[in-house]
Each structure stands twice: as C-alpha cells, then as structure tokens.
Homo-oligomer: A and B are copies of this chain.
Amino acid sequence: MKSNTILHYPLMVVGTVAIDSVETPFGKKDSVFGGSASYFSYAASFFTPVELIAVVGEDFPKEYRKILEERPIGLDHLATVSGKTFHWKGKYGSDLNTAQTLDTQLNVLLEFKPKLKADREPEYLFLANIDPELQMDVLNQVKRPKCKFVVCDTMNFWIEGKRPQLEKVLSRVDMIVINDGEARLLAKEANLIKAARKIQAMGPSTAIIKKGEHGAFLFHGEQFFALPAYPLEEVFDPTGAGDSFAGGVMGYLAKTGDLSFENLKRAVAYGGVVASFTVENFGLERLRTIKDGAIENRLADFRKLCHF
C-alpha cells in the first residue's frame, strides 16, 4: 500500500524527524535517521495508514524520505524549510537503559508552526514528545469528537520547564504514554502505581508507563495490566524504542477501532513487539526488514512467555 493510493489516514502523529548520532557499546554511527514521529509512524504503519506532521531542513536526505515512502505514511505535512534538520547526539552505557544526551540542535524545530490541511480529520492523534505548546496547537486543529482518541508523550525537559502548558494538554488527552522516571517526576511520587493514579487525575483516563527492559504498565480507569519487555539477548540500539512502542499501540488501536480494556492490553503487547524489533539495529533498519507474519509470530511467543 503506497501513500498515493490512500484516501484517508485514521491516525496522525506530530513530532520530530531527526538526524541522530548514536553511540552504543556495539558501535557508533553518525547520520542515523531518527526522531519521534519517524519511529512512531514507521511502527504504526504495520497496522494502519498514518499521517506524519513534522518539519525538516534542506539538508534532509532524499533517501530518508524514501524510507518513509516505503510504507503507508502520509507525507503531505512533512514540511521542508530553510535551515538544518533537528539533530540529536546520544550515547548509551553498557546497561543500555538510559541515553546520555551529548548534543541537541533544535534548528528548524524552533520556528515550527504545524498547520493542518482543512480536509484532514484523523480519528486517532498522537502528540509525540515535543513542546507542549506545539502539542496544543495541533490538538486545537483536530475536530472532536470525530477525533476520538488523543494521546500524548512528554519528557523531563517539558515537565520541568513548561508544566502549566503541559497540564493544559494533559487535561484534554485521553491517554498518556510516558517513561517511568518521567511519570515519577510529573506526579511527584516514587511509587509508580500511585504516580499513575495522580497522572490520571490530571486528565487522561488511560496511562501507559514504559519501563524499558522491564516492560510496561497500563492503567485504564481503575484497571491495571502489566507486560514484561520481550526478552532479547542482544539490544543493539535502544533509540526509538519508546516511540516505536507508542506507534505499535496506536496503530493497532486505529486498525481495530476498539478502545476496550481488553483491546488496550493487546495494543500494549503489539507495541512491545514492534519496539523489540526496533532495538535490534540502528535507527529504522530493523523495522525495514520485518517479514510478513513476523509481528504475529513474536506476539504469539510473547503471549506464551507471560501467561501461566
């Protein structure tokens, strides 16, 4: 399914498209294709057409755009402006759990003002980890209740620097997907179960807390679900795992159109599976080589290894 044959994108993501430099114990690579919206949309595209809202600079390689064109990813809102593409440089230690950011160059992101075309009416919207004011801009441009499920991510930088703006976004989203450390910071609470309850009280009735190699928690109203990470002997590069996870979750939800707790659980499992592929190579490389049936096979494995 190529993007020029797609009439409607049920899922939309606003976030970053980036050129990363990544160092892991297994190697070092410059000019890795990265960014939250890139990972998210590629991951979601295994389940549903997805439209990407982002900006790049004139240095953005044509080959990278072609990588996105391999999949049912709508690029009408991938703006190219003068200046350089967002650049992130990071390094992982031997435990591969947390990235040390060595450099961030916002570049074209500084002037980014997303403007949705009038005919775009997504049912599912993901506000990836960007400035909460940008998240709100996009949220204000989608039509509710036609857009029935809005989800956001965020990070320490915004929690500490733009809490009031972030709280406004939170009050209007249906779900949040967030790291464990960030959940603790946002809720000012060390216990993750309590932290999630506090975050739910800020707005989103559903919360997913990502715990990296320890899996994820799902909170849906009063209900709770826990999933381990898919076990891998080799984690090559964890960059993009969280965004791929969110892409798998939202892609599956948009595909099935079912927001019940039981289906949210399955969505979290699909998210875990897609993220487990992402970390097996740099950037989007592993996702690009996923064979037909590989996601379903790994999901079946996953079910076996956590049911008793």
Contact = CB atoms under 8 A, between A and B. Distances in A.
A224 B231 CA distance: 9
A38 to B, nearest CB: 27
Interface string A208-232: 0001011101000000111110011
A95 interface: yes
One complex includes copies of this chain to the number of 2
Interface string A279-308: 000000000000000000000000101111
22 contacts: A94-B190, A96-B190, A191-B233, A191-B234, A191-B235, A192-B213, A193-B232, A194-B233, A211-B214, A214-B214, A214-B215, A215-B228, A224-B305, A225-B305, A225-B308, A226-B231, A226-B305, A227-B306, A268-B308, A306-B306, A306-B307, A307-B307
A190 B226 contact: no
A272 to B, nearest CB: 10
Interface residues of A, number: 34
Contacts of A150: none
A109 interface: no
Given A269-B308, A303-B308, A308-B268, A228 B226 contact: yes
